[in-house]
Amino acid sequence: MKLYGSLTSPYVRKARVLIHEKQLPVEFVVEDPWTEDSPIIAKNPLSKVPVLEIAPEQYYFESSLVVHFLDHVDGKSLTPTDPQNYWQAQWWQALGNGIIDAAIHRIFETRRPPEHQLADHMEREAKRVRRAIALAEKSFAGDEYLLASRYTLADLVLGVALQYVDFRYPHEWRADSPKLAAWHAGIVARPAFQDTLPPGFVPPQT
Ligand SMILES: N[C@@H](CCC(=O)N[C@@H](CS)C(=O)NCC(=O)O)C(=O)O
């Protein structure tokens, strides 16, 4: 299998962390989805990464599908099977994916020419991130992991999401979220996180 993507995309990083955690035989290929003639278009008409080649000329796209596939491909799923933990894991992933979406929309707004930037759009996305982090802190009832006392996709997705916040929307969220901060420090210390950091990103010392 091959995973196509960029080194900075948090959507791609979810898949890269999962591949690393499970030691899956997937080759990572850096390809840029932004150019008019991007080779990604032939694999995904939406021209977005990640794209996973599951067989010659057969591609999965959308990070949730890619992660779902990789989670099940080796029979060693990181998703709990009992209903309560299963749905809790989905809930945490929805929150993490929402944080990623908001942080991405915010950073893209900051990259527009200053005369075209909409401050209210940026602030709207920033507020989504801050509210979601506050809800994560309030909802935290885990230990070193979010649920089931074991590492699940919930830890992976929220871990990636909060590290993307540190990368692209650095702000002091830890002071008001001590439980989340302590949990996150443990998650991002995992080799799968350490070995897939975006180039040039130095995580804050916690
Ligand atoms: N909903 C998609 C979003 C993927 C996405 O937006 N990826 C960005 C990289 S961070 C991309 O490829 N953007 C290219 C473009 O918008 O043209 C997913 O979860 O895979």
Residue 94 has pLDDT above 90, yes or no: yes
Residue 140 has pLDDT above 90, yes or no: yes
Ligand 1 contact via 34 beta carbon (within 6 Å): yes
Least confidently predicted of 115-119, 146-150, 163-167: 115-119
Counts of helices then strands in the chain (DSSP H, E): 7, 4
Confidence (pLDDT) at 71: 98
The best mutation among 18, 48, 59, 153 to test binding of ligand 1, ranked by most ligand atoms within 8 Å of the C-beta, falls on 48
Confidence (pLDDT) at 206: 84
Q: What is the position in ligand 1's atom list of the atom closest to the CA of 9?
A: 10
Residue 114 has pLDDT above 90, yes or no: no
Residue 117 has pLDDT above 90, yes or no: no
* Ligand 1 centroid – CA 142 distance (Å): 31
State the pTM of this model: 0.97
Q: What is the position in ligand 1's atom list of the atom closest to the CA of 61?
A: 20
* Ligand 1 centroid – CA 80 distance (Å): 27
* Ligand 1 centroid – CA 49 distance (Å): 5
Helix (H, G, I), strand (E, B) or coil at 204: coil
* Ligand 1 centroid – CA 179 distance (Å): 30
Ligand 1, atom 10: closest residue by C-alpha? 9
Between the alpha carbon of residue 166 and those of residues 62, 152, 181, the distances in Å are 23, 22, 12
Segment 120-145 mean pLDDT: 97
Q: What is the position in ligand 1's atom list of the atom closest to the CA of 34?
A: 17
End-to-end CA distance of the chain: 36
Segment 99-123 mean pLDDT: 93
- Burial zone of 17 (CB within 10 Å; 0-12 exposed, 13-18 middle, 19+ buried): buried
Ligand 1 contact via 137 beta carbon (within 6 Å): no
pLDDT in tens, 14-62: 999 999 999 999 999 999 999 999 999 999 999 999 999 999 999 999 9
Nearest to 132 by CA among 168, 91, 167, 170: 91
Establish how many alpha carbons lie within 13 A of residue 86's alpha carbon, considering only the half-sphere containing its beta carbon. Answer: 4
